[in-house]
Amino acid sequence: MTKLAVGAILAVALVTASHTAASPPGAIYIDPLLYNVVGANYTEWRNSSAIGFNPTNSTPPFIQVFDPSFLDVTGPSATIREIASNPGFDFAHEAPIYVPDLNLVFFSNTGGGTLTYSGWYNNSVVSMINMTLVDEALARTTGNVNIQVQTLNLSDNVQMVNGGTGPYRGDLLFVTAGRALLPPSIVRVNPSPPYNTTVILDNFLGRQFNSLNDIKILPGTDIMFFTDPPYGWLNGYRPEPMLPSQVYRFDPSTGQVRVVADQFVNPNGIAFTPDGKTAFVTDTGVFGGFLETNQTFPATIYQFDVEPTTQSFMNRRVFAYSDSGAPDGIQLDTKGNVHAGCGDGIHVWNDEGTLIGKFYLNSTASQLIFTKSGLVILAETAMYVVNIQARGMTLATL
């Protein structure tokens, strides 16, 4: 065993011992000082961001701590437990929305295939999971559970759902990537049967968007902000983009749509601080669809000031760069910590952009959402819940 490996084990043991009373079960502590210099003979070099950083070779899923302040996020009893699974099918990929009054989480799977202008054979599917049933099942065991998810039968004008937020005036708010010539759109969906839908935006002054990806409401307003990368084209189900990759602002009361930020490769997730003064936008430029992965492109969260009058995004700066995959969906807790779905699980940064911990799955976790039960993680072929202490913005008053 190398001196580095011995040092790592000792550091984990010492830090774990010093935080025993407040540490979640099985939490693994990583001392960054041990890995600042590893030398030419280090055997764990990562040549690809698809490989997660797990220097202790711990068995996932587990809670990985880079800074003791992460314990304020997790609390002393947090565990990562699987709540739904469908191996071989990416049923849990995008657009998580939690409706507290119903205790339901809505979400979508991936869609894909070959672009055909006569139609599309593989639309995404919107589903939901009942968190009351999840809580009841988890209370009966210390292990994992597999709760059946329910598929919604939505209108044909809701194609390739990729982002969501809400509740918005009692409804779900989805953005779609469109398919073939069917335009990307913002859609309101009733969260109760028959799940009727209303498209409220599908163009920018007569020009189709590229492929809408994610959406959030500016706190304290009804103003919608959404991202528009060219992923429909990159993944073969939309025409070549005719607009830059941008972030838009939409005021549904006036119908006004305008650009608030640009100069992205593939803008993806979006979020605001609780006071609405700061915005975060993720750029998953590293993933290029048929252009393939380019690890020199962004896997980055950018931070902006929201101009009080115009609500344009100002003073762009790098907030964080993900070491694994790229930050997709992004959520903030009430303490200002930033949670994002990345290539090996959920990464959490404090409000200064320091990585303080991960919910380590060793697999892609594109999206996440805070619920009364804890943090729900969408990990493609599985869903997890972590009963953390931190709370999401929308749950602060519940």
Q: C-alpha distances in angstroms, 147 versus 78, 128, 144, 151, 382?
A: 20, 11, 10, 13, 11
Query: What pTM was estimated for this model as a whole?
Result: 0.93
The pLDDT value recorded for residue 115 is: 47
Note whether 137 and 145 are within 8 A (CB): yes
Tokens of 1: 């065993």
Helix, strand, coil share of the chain (percent; to 5): 10, 35, 50
Q: By CB neighbour count within 10 A (0-12 exposed, 13-18 middle, 19+ buried), where does 21 fall?
A: exposed
Order of strands across the sheet that contains 80-85: 80-85, 382-386, 374-378, 367-371
Cα separation of 120 and 114, whole Å?
8
Radius of gyration of the chain (CA): 21
Question: Which of 354, 384, 380, 301 is CA-nearest to residue 79?
Answer: 384
Cα separation of 273 and 82, whole Å?
29
Note whether 159 and 182 are within 8 A (CB): yes
Q: By CB neighbour count within 10 A (0-12 exposed, 13-18 middle, 19+ buried), where does 15 fall?
A: middle
What is the three-class DSSP state of 10?
Answer: helix
What secondary structure letter does DSSP report for 289?
G
Note whether 27 and 357 are within 8 A (CB): no
Half-sphere exposure of 180 (CA within 13 A, CB side): 12
CATH class of 68-395: mainly beta
Tokens of 263: 């100069």
The pLDDT value recorded for residue 112 is: 57
How does pLDDT run along the chain (398 residues), one tens digit per residue? 454 544 444 444 434 444 444 899 999 999 999 999 999 999 889 999 999 999 999 999 999 999 999 999 999 999 999 999 999 888 999 999 999 999 999 999 977 554 444 444 478 899 999 999 999 999 999 999 999 999 998 888 888 999 999 999 999 999 999 988 899 999 999 999 999 999 999 999 999 999 999 999 999 999 999 999 999 999 888 999 999 999 999 999 999 999 999 999 999 999 999 999 999 999 999 998 888 899 999 999 999 999 999 999 999 999 999 999 999 999 999 999 999 999 999 999 999 999 999 999 999 999 999 999 999 999 999 999 999 999 997 665 44
Within the chain, residue ranges assigned H as helices are 3-18, 71-74, 131-139, 231-234
The pLDDT value recorded for residue 393 is: 77
Cα separation of 264 and 129, whole Å?
34
Task: Return phi, psi of residue 82, to 5°.
Answer: -75, 135
